[in-house]
Every structure is written in structure tokens, then in C-alpha cells.
Amino acid sequence: MKLYNTLSRKKEEFKPIEEGKVKMYVCGPTVYNFIHIGNARPFIIFDTLRRYLEYRGYDVTFVQNFTDVDDKIIKRSHEENITPEEVATKYIKEYFVDADGLGIKRATVHPQVTDNIEQIIAFVKELEDKGYAYAVNGDVYFDTKKFKDYGKLSGIKQEELEAGARIEVNDQKRHPMDFVLWKAKKEGEPGWASPWGEGRPGWHIECSVMSNRYLGETIDIHAGGQDLKFPHHENEIAQSEARSGKNFSNYWLHNEYINVNNEKMSKSLGNFFTVREISEIYDLEVVRLFMLSTHYRNPINFSDEILNQSKAGLERLYNAKEKAEFTINNLEDTKMTEEEAKLQEELASFRQKFIDAMDDDVNTADAVSAIFELAKFMNSNITENSSKEFAQKALDEFKELTGVLNIVNKDKKEDILDEEIEKLIEQRTEAKKNKNFQLADEIRQQLLDKGIILEDTRQGVKWKRA
């Protein structure tokens, strides 16, 4: 498998540190609000990479943090007159609601900053002891001039940055590029006791500490949105490598931006949507398919028109699956014909196309195309004249590939309403009374196909959903 490594600026063959195992860290959300669609893209993409690695037999340890100490959280807590902890707890819960809707699997560990304060203090202390950090009035800064490789990820040169106005100006820093590791407590802010007085961690340090704590000094993959490359990831590298003297992450992956109606997403333009808002209009599975339909290193445009295309596409896939299931249910148990045996080669080509695409730097766009081609193949080749063996094989293939991307995974069986079930049960009872057992059996089977199980009891017929 090849992955585009931001660090080397080229596609590289993926070789994990330990055979069969992958250690992966993805920067998680700051929990002060609902996640927006820009946040959703890396979560969906890197969840898909994780699922694909697992599909290929890797044992993946996946860490995604929650930033639960931050200026925005403190601000929100003042606005809502609740504690920062309450703000964080609320939005962590909401994150999981959205993540579940988007089909994002739980991380192996979801560490929170507030559970890692002790580790953060120890890490900063080590940097200070090694001469990479300095304390000023209760703040601690990383001395970027001491770390020779500073800028190696983003390719940004210190001089360029210093010339530009892209960095925070602060009299306490030795160099404009230096960044804060520990902040002295201000009035109305949460704080923890430390060797530098009461305070709280800066943003960048948390990922270095949690990655080290849960995955070790060197990991396989560190990923996030393009906007995190600088300064966040650059600073993570500086902190981690200055402390350990080892490579922090072997592969760095970054996804491109999301535009809304061809404009950059921004609050001032009024085109800033949370996942929760979108979920009121579209099933979030549509959003997942939409995100996977473009390669993660290309920008993606979010518009109603394109979402509607994804919606129609998803329906086509569901229809192909349901039609196949229905046909198979009505087929006799028959073996593959000679003609079908020849079609097997074509059937296998879809999986090969899918794997080739995913192996080529997680090209989900081509992987999705392979699934659409397979759906088309099923529509023409699973018929009432098919053998059950062949039809089932094609359907299994479809389920396997859609399973890797975690799409078309819902059983639409619940689509039958309670009233319809009651009505069919009534008809069946009537049929039995009239000794029309064939019709009664047919109705039972019809319900079973929709996942409804009937039970004849002394109190009458009871039913439940499978």
C-alpha cells in the first residue's frame, strides 16, 4: 500500500514499525460546540483508512483526542454560565451522536487533556531540563531556534514566518516563532498546580503527550486536516522529537479543505454548517458517501446539488442490494452454471479494482466507482434465472466492499410500519381460519423477509423485529 507522506512530499510504500500492527493518531475536536462539516472530513477519511487497514489484516491502535481545555471552551462556559468541564462533557456526548451517524468507529482510546495533566507537566519539564523550553512569568515556551528541524513538515522557513505576520506577537517570547507549552492561570480560568505555578497546557503539547502515552515515542501514522499542518503538527514534531531524539511519526497524512458552494467555508460568509444541521436534511450516510467520493487530497465542494447526487447514488446502491436479496430469497438452492462460472472473473475484477484504488493512497473515489460498477453487474446478473450459489457470491462481494467503507450497511427492514404488520397478521389469521394454509405460510414468509418474526401463542399471534 502506498501513502502520500506530507513529510517527504511523495507517495511511499507503507511499512509499519511492527509487522501486522499499526499505531495511528488523529487530532480530535475541541469540544466547545457541535462538529462542522470541515471537522467531519478528516474523521470520515481516516476512519476509512483505519477500516481498510483492518480489512487488510492489520491490528490497528487508533487514538483520537478530545481537546477539553481551551480558550473557546472557557468562553462558552462563561456565556452559558456552566463549568468548562460541563461544556466539554456535553459536546463530547454530541460528538459521538454525530460520529455514529457518520459511521465513524470509536477510537481504541479517546483521551482527554484533563486526564493527562500530570503527563503534560512531566513532558514540559523534560523539555525545560533539556534546554528546549524556557519559563517566563509562569508561562513556558518552546525555543524553536534550538530545534534544528523546525519547519520540516510544512516547509516553512523561520525567516519567512518572521517576515510575515502569521504568528502571534508576544513580548515574553525569545523568538516570534516560539510557542506556548504551559500558560499561567488568568482570572476565571481553570488551572492546575505545576513547577511554574498554577496554569494550564497550551494546545500543541497535548497531542505529543497523548500520542507518546498511548502509542509510544514513534508511531506509524499521524493524520489530520490540512489546516493542522502548520503550526499544530510542526509544533508536535518539535516537542516530541526534541524530547525523545527519535522520529515522532513515520507517515503524516493531511486532507484538503472543504468549500461550500465553491467558497471557502467561514462563519462570516454564513456557509458554516454543523453536522447536526445537515442531519436534519440528509441522512448522514449520504454525507459519508459524499466525502468518500472525492480523493482526500483534493478539495471538495459541498453543495445541495452534489449532496443530492450522493443521495441518489446511495439509493441506487441500496436498491441493487435489496433487489439482490429479494431475488436470492426466492431462488432454489442451485449450484453455479458453466456460464456463471465464466462470469466469476468479471465479478472478481471489482474487488481487485477496489483494492488497487485503496492501496493507491486511499483513493476512495475510485473504490466507490468500483462499488457502483459491481452494483450494475448485480442488477444485470442476479435474476430469477440465476443459480443461488452465484447470486449469493455476488451479493457477498458487494457486502464485503461496502462494509470496508461502511456504507449501504443499514437493514431497511424497519421500513415496514407497525400498522402494515398488524394488517398482514390479520390476513394470515383469516387465511388460517379458512384453511388456506398456503396463503398463511406466504404471509409469514413475506413478513420474515422484512425481518418480522411471528410467534403463535395462546393469546394470539405475537411478532417481533429480528
By CB under 5 A, name the binding residues for Zn ion. 27, 207
19 is in an annotated binding site: no
Q: In terms of CB distance, is 220 or 340 closer to Zn ion?
A: 220
Nearest distance from residue 207's CB to Zn ion, in Å? 3
Nearest distance from residue 151's CB to Zn ion, in Å? 18
Q: In terms of CB distance, is 205 or 382 closer to Zn ion?
A: 205
Nearest distance from residue 27's CB to Zn ion, in Å? 3
Q: In terms of CB distance, is 111 or 199 closer to Zn ion?
A: 111
Q: In terms of CB distance, is 27 or 156 closer to Zn ion?
A: 27
Q: Residue 86 burial (CB < 10 Å; 0-12/13-18/19+)?
A: middle
Q: In terms of CB distance, is 123 or 377 closer to Zn ion?
A: 123
Nearest distance from residue 111's CB to Zn ion, in Å? 11
For residue 440, count other CB atoms closer than 10 A to its CB: 18
- Integer Cα distance of 192 and 185 in angstroms: 8
Distances (CA, A) of 408 to 60, 136, 319, 351: 24, 55, 10, 16
305 is in an annotated binding site: no
Count CA atoms within 13 Å of residue 4 on its CB side. 15
Q: What is the CA radius of gyration of the chain?
A: 27
**10 by DSSP, 3-state: which?**
strand
Q: In terms of CB distance, is 27 or 37 closer to Zn ion?
A: 27
- Integer Cα distance of 222 and 240 in angstroms: 13
Nearest distance from residue 30's CB to Zn ion, in Å? 10
Q: In terms of CB distance, is 58 or 248 closer to Zn ion?
A: 248
Chain position carrying cell 513556558:
140
Nearest distance from residue 66's CB to Zn ion, in Å? 11
Nearest distance from residue 232's CB to Zn ion, in Å? 6
Q: Are 144 and 238 in contact (CB under 8 A)?
A: yes
Cell of 96: 459521538
Q: Are 374 and 403 in contact (CB under 8 A)?
A: no
- Integer Cα distance of 149 and 152 in angstroms: 6
10 is in an annotated binding site: no
Q: Are 94 and 193 in contact (CB under 8 A)?
A: no
72 is in an annotated binding site: no
183 is in an annotated binding site: no
Cell of 254: 493531511
Cell of 367: 473504490
For residue 289, count other CB atoms closer than 10 A to its CB: 25
Nearest distance from residue 391's CB to Zn ion, in Å? 47
Q: In terms of CB distance, is 40 or 287 closer to Zn ion?
A: 40
Bridge partners of residue 161, in order along the sequence:
none
Q: Residue 48 burial (CB < 10 Å; 0-12/13-18/19+)?
A: buried
Binding residue positions for Zn(2+)? 27, 207, 232, 236
Binding residue positions for ATP? 267
